[in-house]
Structures are given as C-alpha cells and as structure tokens.
Structure 1
C-alpha cells in the first residue's frame, strides 16, 4: 500500500453520527396491553390465528394504541398489518410462524421489489403511512420459507427450483418493462400469478419505526425493509436466514436510521442501504441518508455493510462503528455497488473500529465495472470515504477500487489500520485522492 504522511479529515465527522443516534429514539406507546389469546388465538402450532391477531390489533387501534402481545407458544398466521401507535410484542417463548401459502398474502399491496414500486404480495408484517409502530420482544418470527416454499421461485436449484417451477426472472422483466412504459405503480399488478417473493417486515412511508429483540428465521426475501421512512431504530435483533436474497436490514430511501446491537447470519448482505432503482428511482427521487450501524456482528454471506446496488437516488452520511465481521463465507466488509446502469451517488461514508477475522474477497470493494459495467445512461459518483482503526486478519485483498476515467472514485482515506494476511495486492483503477496513513498490509 502507498503511504502518505498526513491524515486529513475535512468531512462532517462523527459528531453527526452522535446527533443521528440522539434523534432516533424508540417510540412511546399508550399504557394499554391486549393479549391475542383474548381474541381467540390458540398457540398450539396448528390453529390458524390470523383473525385473532388481526382482531387484537384492531381493538388496540380503536382504543388509541398500545401493545398487542403474543405470549408463549406457536402461532400460525397469514400476513400481519400494523397501524399507528401499535407495538406488536412477541414475548420470550413465542413463535409466530407464517403460513407459506401465496394466496394468503393477497390482495396485493404497494411495495418495492428490488427498488421498484409495484402491487405485490403483502410483506409478512407490514405497515403503510403509520406513525409510532413497532415489532418487539424476545420471541421468534418464522417466515416459513424453505426449499419447498417461497425460495424455489428464485430460480436456483440450490434453493429448491426444478424445471417446471415458475421462477422470478420473467416476472421481473415484465415489471421492468412496465416501468419503461410509464405504467403507474398502482397499475403494476404483480400478484397473484407472479413469482416475486414478499419481504418479511416492511414499513412503507412510516415515521418512528422500531424493531427490537426478535429473532428472524426462514424469510422469503429481504428481512427488514423500511421504505421512505423517517426515524428507524433496529436494535438487539438476531437474524438467521440463509435463503436467496435474504438481506438482513435494507433501509431504502429513508432518513435517520440506527441499526445497533444486532447479529446477522444471512444468505445475502447483512445491511444493505438502498435508494431505489433506475427509472423508478428517478421518478420518486428520494435518497437514503443519515444511517448509523454500530455494535453489530456479521458472519455471512456477501457484504457486511453494503451500499447499493439499488442506489439511483443516492446515499449519503453513513456511519459504521464498533462492529465485528468475518467468517469463511463472508465476502466483503464495506461493499459499494453501482455502475452505469444504476448511477446515483455515495458520499460521506465513515467506518471506525471494525475487527475482521476472515473475508473471501476485499474489505473495501467498489467496482463500477461490475454487472452491466460501462453500459448504461448514468454516471455513478463515489466520494469521501473515511476508514479508521480497522484490523483484518485474512482476505483476498484490502482494497478493490475501480472507477471510470470520467468519474473516478474520489477522496478515500484510510488510517490506523492493519490488513494482516492478504492473498493478492490491492486493485486500484481510476481513483483520485487515495490516502493511507499508518496503515499496514502483508
């Protein structure tokens, strides 16, 4: 690695992360508690509790808000819709097991699928245009997805797809074509008779969102997906779900997000910060900004802290600190994904005090030539990345940075960091303002 003598940090600094954390607080709820058992739920793992859970939520809503409690036992249910001033509390010893029958997740609702708005299968837990809404507790949320249910739709044999099973590829192309034709989102009907899997927990246009304590397993798609939200707190969550596209937390086009004290063992990116995709993102035009990730542990599979690849509307002011990552099946540390098809900007990314055991690829990867590469009408911009106090035990490389000649990656500073056992030299192409201070690699 090239060493420069002077470390300069002229960006907004870590005080902005502290300010975000102060702003994003858990919402308060009225002192009211309703047990789903009082509305007919039977936690025997065999009785359909959908109506009982909905009845308890409705009772709390009509009373002005409060906590809906699922006590010890196993509850079978279809999708759960939440509303303002409601905390869905899954107590210790409780398991909420979602019935993996697609017809249960109809009628279709407004959602985003890989950054594109559409009318699709309802997320397993969802809220729209709500304030003060939460999913809390020490229980388990089981999405019921496996190689027999939901996952085969991805089209990969390792997840149960076989010839004759409809896969999502054709449906995705149909959705993209509707966007090109200017079809409004509420007319992009992608359920039923399509195979675009629902996300697990999705908050759409909500304020003061809180997910706390629960363990998530068996997700059909992305696990926690706030979209166009303000004030999102995800804390003390454990995610163990190795299915296709099983990202952990995907804040998309959100403002003020804090993700802390979480453990991720997932089938895709642990945290993936997003801002919509291509033409549809340009229509909505909402960036994702002010995201803090702290005191988390990531063990698999692709990126620990990912920005993109749906980031056409831009991502800025991201802060990662005091995290541990790494394992034989984790690929990247900080992974910034864009190209000429996606475009967008990434700026003001801070990483501090991260310990890494092992990565299959790079700690920092940002390669404009990936995927569609040079093809596409957009010019991505990545600038102002600050990395400090990072220790990586083993990886393919410390850095893989590849910008364009007409849009180089700019202003990347790394200091006080050690990359102990790198299999290959760094790969650097079209980067300006790369500064490394007190940083060592072997």
Structure 2
C-alpha cells in the first residue's frame, strides 16, 4: 500500500500533537507534586552539612572520668580547644557517665558520643556562669549559658548514639517556671517575679542594648539545652536529649542546620523539641519528639526584638518525623515578629492523646509578623486534642496581648493528610478583621472524627478539594470554599 509524503507528514503531526497533549497532562499532574516537593528538595540540596577531618580527641585523654561524679567541664573544654586548634575533628565521649558544666563548641568540632555514653549536666547553677549572649522566649539577653552552646562558630556538630541528660528536674531548673506541677513551692522565686520576665519585657520594649540586659545570678530564667547562636553549618545527629531546663534545640540566627535522627524525650516546662529562630535553610528529619511543649516551633523573635533583628525564619523542611506528646506537632509562633516563610512538612506521623494540634500558627497584635507559604504533605494523624489545623491571631498567655501590629497569614496548604480523631475541631481559624487569613487550602484530606467540622472567623473562605470531615464531603463544586459559618 502506498502512502503519499503529505499523508505521512500529517500522521507525524497528529502524533506529535497527541504526545504534546499527553505530556502537558502529565506535566500538569506532576506540577501539583512539584509545587509541594520540588522547592523542598531544592532547599535540602542547598544545605551544607559539615564534614570533619579524621582526627580523634577522646575526652578521657584530657582528664575526663566517666564515673558520674567527677566534674569534667575543664576536660571537655581542653579536648574541644585541642581539636579546634588542630584544624578540627571529633571530640569523642566514650561509654560512661560524664558529669560536666556547659559545653562550648568551637568551629570544625564534632562532639561525638559513643554507644553507652551519657553526658550529665551539673545541677550547680554557678557552673553556668559567667553569663553569655543568649535568648529567652524570643528576647536576647545575657544569661546563664545554654548546656551546649556555640557562638558565631562554623562547621559544628553533636553526633553519635549517646544521651545528653540535662538533669533539670523538679529539684533543679524546672521549679523556676512557677508551676507546682514542676516542683514549684509557694513563696519561692520564679520567672514571673519582677526581676525576671517583667524586667526583660520592659528592656525589650524600651530597646535596652543586649549587653545591658544582664540576668544570671539573682534571676530565674532557665537556659536552653543546645543553642548554636549565629552559627553556620550545624549538624545534630543520632543523639538523645532528656530532662531539659527549657527549649531543647534552639538554632538562633543560624544558617544551614541539619537535625537528623535525634530523639527528644523531655517533659519539663517549655520543653519544645526544636525551635529554629531567625534561622534559614533548616532540615529536620528522621526524629522522634516526645515533649512537654511544642514538638517543633518555628520562631522569629518577640515584639520589638523581632522587629529589631528583622530576620525571618525561612526555607525549613521537616520530614519523616514522629510527633508524640506536645502542644503542637509543627508550630509557627508565638514569638514570630520577624515572620516565617517557606515551610515544608512531609511524610510525618503525629499521634498521641496528649498531642494538642497537628499544625498550629499562633500570634497576636503585639507579636505581629507574618506566616506565608506553608506546605504540609503526606501526614498521618492518629489523634489530637483540639484541631488538625489551628490558626490563632489572638494568642494570649499571662498578660494582655493586644497591640498595633496586625499579623498576616497566607498560603497555608494541607495535602494528602489522614486523621483518625481531630479532637474538638477539624479546622479552627481565628483571624483579624484588619487582615483576614488568606488562601487556606485542604486537598485530599480525610478527617474521620471531629467534634465540630470547623470554626472559622475573619478568614477568606477555606478551599477544599477532595476533602471530607466526619464522613461529609467538604467539596462544593468546581471551586469549593467554606466561609465563616463553616457551611
């Protein structure tokens, strides 16, 4: 059979058109995934994970004794200094129980704990002096040293299979929170006494220089556990943290941070698992968070301090983590005055009768700030107490929280999320009339049980795509939305 050249050319053109249409369809389908995963992968690819020379500095070579009683602060610092001076390597903590005061890391040092190593932190508060430049609830100050601290260092790590035990407890740091639950007794000093938080709040409001915000001895503000402050290329891998005085991991003003395979099992007051603050390019993966407060809380300064520093926390990826007890699985706020953007949460499991919310955003008109471009994908939620998604711009605790800084929240996306029990609400949003919450989308979300489907105030209508709550489809046509009445 003979076919003319024109006929064959026409067939080729038709084939090309068909393939082009097919490719366009596949590209559109892929683009929905790329919108969630592509930028996250690009962030991960750009994060610098520190590597270290193959040099070993056992702390025992510098006088450390793992008997649980000998104070090894000086031995740890000698090993760290020797490692740093030699150009870097591993400072190794072998099997044993090593008591120490604060550990101050230096550039190019990997503090590596072997299996069976337990680092116990001193319960003598004098060991955490002199004061250092640190932060408390989003406000910079001079205070007791964090238990593990690095200031303006590059290429640092805490790795291995060991345990870091802060020994905070009801007879040490915890009572300073002022709660009987954590050992506080009537008449004892606590953080809300006039010389503590009220004084720091006034200094923040008045713009007192940080070097003049001196606390420490005679004051009662607890230190963080691990705090890289203004550092670059930070790795925390494999270790366990327990019995923290305050926030557990607090990378502040730091860039290129990797937290991998870490277990946080700490149920003290304000025992957030990981709080990136003014932090950029952060990768949190393969971790277990079993905490007394938020599992992960992304922050960016409180009130005037946040606006002064003005460094948004951005480009943060959380994946393959398990969230157990805590106030929230992944939280943004409440210290958020410089803003948060570009947050990706994927492939996580959140499940505990003591976990309050899965995804939470909290701020108010003293904090202000913004949250934008949050993508949550492929999350399995067993049960939470209050809501799968909670956005609250009226957050308040202890004192009046109203001011003139209207928060802005936009472009929050939940996709491929399954929830067995969402507690009181499926979705709970409280925005502001002055700046309504914008562009909230739930796609391929199934919430089996919720006390109420949703409560939404001062928000653009929520957009639902292939989503059901309590067995009811939330879709309502080609561009389904739900308004403030939840109907």
- TM-score, normalising length from structure 1? 0.96
> Which 10-residue stretch deviates more, 186-195 or 313-322?
186-195
Q: Going by fraction, where is helix more abundant, 1 or 2?
A: 2
- Which residue in the other structure is 2:168 paired with? 145
1:26 pairs, out of 28, 49, 64, with: 49
Greater shift after overlay, 8-17 or 139-148? 8-17
Q: Is the 8 A contact 2:453 2:469 kept in 1?
A: no
Structure with the higher strand share, 1 or 2: 1
- Residues 174-220 of structure 1, C-alpha deviations (whole Å, 9 max, x = no match): 01111223210011001111100000000000000000000110000
Provide the residue aligned with 1:277 in structure 2: 302
Structure-2 residue corresponding to 1:338 = 363
Tell me what 1:209 maps to: 234
Does the CA contact (< 8 Å) of 2:36 and 2:344 recur in 1?
Answer: no
CA offsets 1:116-169 (integer angstroms, 9 cap, x no match): 000010000000111000000000000011111100000000000001210001
Of 76, 82, 85, 1:62 maps to 85
Structure 1 residue matching 2:357: 3-state secondary structure? strand
For structure 2, which runs of at least 5 residues remain unmatched after alignment?
1-28, 471-487
2:407 matched to which residue of 1? 380
Q: Report how far residue 280 of structure 1 moved.
A: 1.0
- Which residue is 2:133 aligned to? 110
In the alignment, which residue of structure 2 is the partner of 1:408? 436
Task: Please state if 1:428 is matched with 2:472.
Answer: no
1:212-242, Cα deviation, whole Å (9 max, x unpaired):
0001100000000000000000010001000
Q: Residues 340 and 373 of structure 1 are in contact (CA less than 8 Å); yes or no, is this contact kept in structure 2?
A: no
3-state SS of paired residue (2:39): helix
- Per the alignment, do residues 264 and 164 of structure 1 end up closer, same or farther by CA in structure 2, a change over 3 Å counting? same
After the TM superposition, which parts of structure 1 deviate over 3 Å for at least 4 consecutive aligned residues? 7-13
Matched with 2:105 is 82
How many angstroms apart in 2 are the aligned matches of 1:373 and 1:164? 24
**Structure 1 residues without counterparts, runs of 5 or longer:** 1-6
* Secondary structure at 1:376 match in 2: coil
Contact 2:281 2:314 in 1 (8 A): yes
Show the counterpart of 1:188: 213
- Decide whether the 8 Å contact of 1:152 with 1:159 is kept in 2: yes
Say which of 231, 241, 244 aligns to 2:266.
241
2:223 pairs with one of 194, 198, 214:
198
For the pair shown, which has the larger CA radius of gyration, 1 or 2? 2
8 A contact 1:339–1:373 mirrored in 2: no
Greater relative contact order: 1 or 2 (C-alpha under 8 angstroms, separation 6 or more)?
A: 1
Q: How large is the Cα RMSD of the aligned pairs?
A: 1.5
Q: 1:393 to 1:373 in 2, by over 3 A?
A: farther
Aligned 1:34-183 pairs, distance under 5 A: 34-170=57-193, 171-183=196-208
In 1, are the aligned partners of 2:246 and 2:272 still within 8 Å (CA)? Answer: yes
Conserved 8 A contact 2:277-2:301: yes
Separation (CA, whole Å) in 2 of partners of 1:238 and 1:190:
31
Give CA deviations for 1:93-114 in whole Å, capped at 9, x if unaligned: 0000001211110000000100
Q: Is the 8 A contact 1:11 1:384 kept in 2?
A: no
TM-score (norm: length of structure 2): 0.88
- Does the CA contact (< 8 Å) of 2:237 and 2:260 recur in 1? yes
Deviation at 1:54, TM superposition (A): 0.8
